[in-house]
Chains A and B, each alone.
Chain A
Amino acid sequence: MSKGLLLAGLLTSIVATSGIDLSACGDKFLVASRGTRFTRATTARPPANILVYANPSTTLSKALEKAEVDSTLRKAGYRPTSVSAPADFEAAIKQGGWDLVVADLSDSSTLRGRFQGKTAPMVVPVVLNATGTELAQAKKDYQRVVKGPIKSQAFLEAIDDAVALREKLKATAS
Chain B
Amino acid sequence: MLAAALSSAVPATAFAQAWVPPAGIGIVSVVYQDIDNTNHRLHDGSRLDGYDSLSRGVLVGLDYAVTDRFSFSVAFPYIAAKYTGPEPSLFGLPIDECLCWNHGWQDVGAAVRYNIRNDAFALTPSVSFGVPTHDYPAIGEAAVGRNLKEVRFGIDAGQRLDRISDRLSVSGNYAFAVVEQVDDISNNRSNLGLQVAFLATRKVQTQASFTWQWTHGGLRSTEFDEGTFLLFDRVLKDNNFHVGGGVAYSLPHFDVFASYTYYATGTDTHEGRAITAGVSVPFER
Decide yes or no: A24 and B242 within 8 Å by CB, A14-B90, A35-B206 being known contacts.
no
CA A37 to CA B22, docked complex, whole Å = 11
Among A14, A33, A75, point to the contact of B17 (Cβ < 8 A).
Answer: A33
Residues of A contacting B55 in the complex (Cβ-Cβ under 8 angstroms): 28-29
B226 at the interface (CB under 8 A from A): yes
A23 touches B42 (CB 8 A): yes
CB-CB contacts below 8 Å: B11-68 with A? 11-22, 24-25, 27, 29, 31, 33, 35, 37, 40-43, 48, 51, 53, 55, 57, 59, 63
Segment with Cβ contacts to B, from A1-9, A85-93, A108-116, A121-129: A1-9
B5 touches A29 (CB 8 A): no
Using C-beta atoms within 8 Å of the partner chain, give the interface range for chain A: 35 or more
Query: Which residue of the partner chain A has the closest CB to B50?
Result: A20
B162 touches A44 (CB 8 A): yes
Query: Which residue of the partner chain B has the closest CB to A10?
Result: B92
What is the distance, in angstroms, from A136's C-beta to the closest C-beta of chain B? 15
B15 touches A33 (CB 8 A): yes
Decide yes or no: A33 and B209 within 8 Å by CB, A9-B226, A24-B233 being known contacts.
yes
B141 touches A25 (CB 8 A): yes
Q: Which 4 pairs across A and B sit closest by C-beta, in order of nearness? A: A23-B40, A35-B248, A32-B7, A44-B166
Interface on B for A, CB 8 Å cutoff? Answer: 3-22, 24-25, 27, 29, 31, 33, 35, 37, 40-43, 48, 51, 53, 55, 57, 59, 63, 77, 79, 81, 90-92, 106, 118-120, 122, 138, 140-141, 143-146, 158, 160, 162, 166, 169, 171, 193, 195, 197, 199, 202, 205-207, 209, 221-222, 224-227, 229-230, 232-234, 236, 238, 240, 242, 244, 246-248, 250, 255, 257, 259, 261, 268-270, 274, 276, 278, 280, 282, 284
9 contacts between A and B (CB under 8 A): A21-B40, A21-B48, A27-B35, A29-B35, A29-B57, A32-B246, A33-B207, A41-B120, A42-B118
